[in-house]
Amino acid sequence: MFGLVLNYLKMSIHLAPRGTRSFTYFVRARENIESTVDYLDSSVQNRVKLPQIPIHGIIFDMDGTLTLPILDFKILRTLLNCPPPPKDLLKFINEQSETEQKRLMTIVEQFEEEGNQQMKLQPGVHTMLNMLSKCGIKKAIITRNGQPAIEYFLKCLGEPSSYGGPFSHVSNIFNKEVY
């Protein structure tokens, strides 16, 4: 299982499409994806020395990365009567009695379902995912969202052919404690 969730992707990827010109792609999550996929031709690269890192795959979170951020976790904390950060929501829930855990998880699931109804993809997400696939870079999702949210997200994306093929790994850590 992937052990790392990348909430902020600030990586430079050096690629040589079709063996011709070199391009550097910058992908910064939590910003408008469409405006952050920049193409720098080789003349710019000669003036700006960028690290060249071989990247075999990228792990995405969903909220605010592949989807527009719409969930207000302050509201969820209030509904759960959970202390403010740095207290982790799921850790807080897991510390409660079994009966209380079930009640709180029902609130979380309802909150997430409301978010599903409003879910919108980040502008340019299909373009970016297609570009990664064409470059042979694997894509994965690891999230704390519940399985229904993941399924709804994949439904919003559409057929895998519209975004460069399926993700190599999709996993949720919804009911697991995070330290």
Q: What is the pLDDT of residues 136-159, one digit of tens each?
A: 999 999 888 888 889 999 999 999
How far is 120 from 32, CA to CA, in rounded Å?
13
74 phi and psi angles, rounded to 5 deg: -65, -40
CATH number of 10-69+119-172: 3.40.50
Contact status, residue 63 vs residue 112, Cβ threshold 8 Å? no
Residue ranges of the domains in the chain?
Answer: 10-69+119-172, 73-118
The pLDDT score that the predictor gives to residue 174 is: 57
Contact status, residue 81 vs residue 89, Cβ threshold 8 Å? no
Rama region for 106: left / alpha / beta (φ>0; ψ in -120 to 50; rest): alpha
Distances (CA, A) of 54 to 94, 110, 155, 170: 39, 41, 31, 22
The pLDDT score that the predictor gives to residue 21 is: 31
The pLDDT score that the predictor gives to residue 52 is: 79
How far is 138 from 116, CA to CA, in rounded Å?
25
* Local confidence band at 48 (pLDDT 50, 70, 90 cut-offs): low
pLDDT at 36 over 50: no
Name the pTM for this structure. Answer: 0.65
Instruction: To the nearest 10°, report the CA torsion of 130, 133, 134, 137.
Output: 140
110 phi and psi angles, rounded to 5 deg: -65, -40
The pLDDT score that the predictor gives to residue 56 is: 87
How far is 59 from 168, CA to CA, in rounded Å?
10
